[in-house]
Amino acid sequence: MTGNLLTAVPQAARYLLDGQLVAIPTETVYGLAGNALDAAVVAEIFRVKNRPSFDPLIIHGHSPEQLFALAASVPAGARQLADAFWPGPLTLLLPRGPEVPDLVTAGSPFVALRVPRHPLTLALLRSLPFPVAAPSANPFGYVSPTTAQHVADQLGDQIAGILDGGPCEVGLESTIVGFPDGKPAIYRRGGISQEAIEALLGLVEQAPANPLPVAPGMLARHYSPATPLILGDIPALLATAPEPHKVAVLSFSRPYRSGYPQDIVLAPDGQLATAARHLFAALRTLDASGMVQIIGEWLPDEGLGRAINDRLRRAAAQDTIGL
């Protein structure tokens, strides 16, 4: 493990109070945290990640009360969702209040807010006098980190420390829900399924397209390994691969060939939650395998499968097939 590994919340709090950046564990992915209300600290988050300033950040807090104080208004549906899913992998996109720096929202009139579900990070947030901005703790556009080692490998020498909370429980970023025209809409699929949200609020639509993202994770290409990824029917793709031994296979619940140690099955138990938890770590492993290409397949397009397919689509390096 490289980088300054932290095992105690007070250590991490001291760095954050001093205006430095700390990687923090959440149930979704590891975040790169800094004082969300200090524009200079927020600018450092963008610099370390090499993140374009037009891509907004999520503010993490310890309670709905703390976060709703940063919003100009809070629809009734947002309060219902917070009551049901916070702490948890849900982000609410609400009208921005005056305390939020422009850089956090990339100039958007909306701010993304979340209470994460991880005991270490919740304890850390309760010990601070401010919420934190915390995008995924990885270089912009690359696969999100789900362990402290993933963070250390890429950002360990650029930040004050990494609070090690073990592997992330969910493994996919949070679902983002906003309320354009007063009606709930999904801006990013994630750890809370559309079905769970609709069970509470009724029909939820996909957010309208926007040339610039108003919420994180909306860029067409994101979460990408350096190794080209193509998605479709695995047997057909393997049949046309010029050198199958130089290709890695990423499948949902069963292997498609034997004797290829680079191949990964995301969920031998057939559970979408298992696949979600393993997705980003699998992409990182395959990216480091030395293969020339990764071939993958779509997962069942329901529940968490919709969010996994969204990440696969954005990670793909070329045109995909099907779905």
CATH label, 5-206, candidates 3.90.870.10, 3.40.50.720, 3.40.50.2300, 3.40.50.800: 3.90.870.10
- Omega before 87 within 30 of 0, i.e. cis: yes
Residue 71: C-alpha distances to residues 41, 64, 96, 115 (Å):
20, 11, 5, 14
Distance CA 8, CA 172 (A): 25
Residue 86: both structure tokens together: 């916070």
Give the separation between CA 88 and CA 277, rounded to whole angstroms. 15
Q: What pTM does this model have?
A: 0.89
Residue 198's nearest CA partner among 85, 111, 93 is 85
Contacts of 62 (CB under 8 A, 6+ apart): 115, 122, 125, 126, 131
pLDDT at 213: 67
Identify the CA nearest to 55 among candidates 189, 185, 175, 220.
220
Decide the pairing of beta strands 161-163 and 175-178. unpaired
What pLDDT score was predicted for residue 1? 46
Judge contact between 16 and 68, C-beta under 8 A.
no
pLDDT tens track, the chain, 323 positions: 456 889 899 999 999 999 999 999 999 999 999 999 999 999 999 999 998 888 899 999 999 999 999 999 999 999 999 999 999 999 999 999 999 999 999 989 999 999 999 999 999 999 999 999 999 999 988 899 999 999 999 999 999 999 999 999 999 999 999 999 899 999 999 999 999 999 999 999 998 766 566 777 666 566 689 999 999 999 999 999 989 999 999 999 999 999 999 999 999 999 999 999 999 999 999 999 999 999 999 999 999 999 999 999 989 855 444 44
Nearest to 232, CA basis, from 223, 241, 224: 241
Which residues are bridge partners to 132 per DSSP?
35, 60
Query: What's the token pair of residue 272?
Result: 């979408």
Report the pLDDT value the prediction gives residue 319, as an integer from 0 to 100: 46
Q: Where are the domains of the chain?
A: 5-206, 229-315
CATH tag, 229-315: 3.40.50.11030
Q: Which amino acid is at 85?
A: F
Q: Is 90 helix (H, G, I), strand (E, B) or coil?
A: strand
Q: According to the model, what pLDDT value does residue 212 have?
A: 60
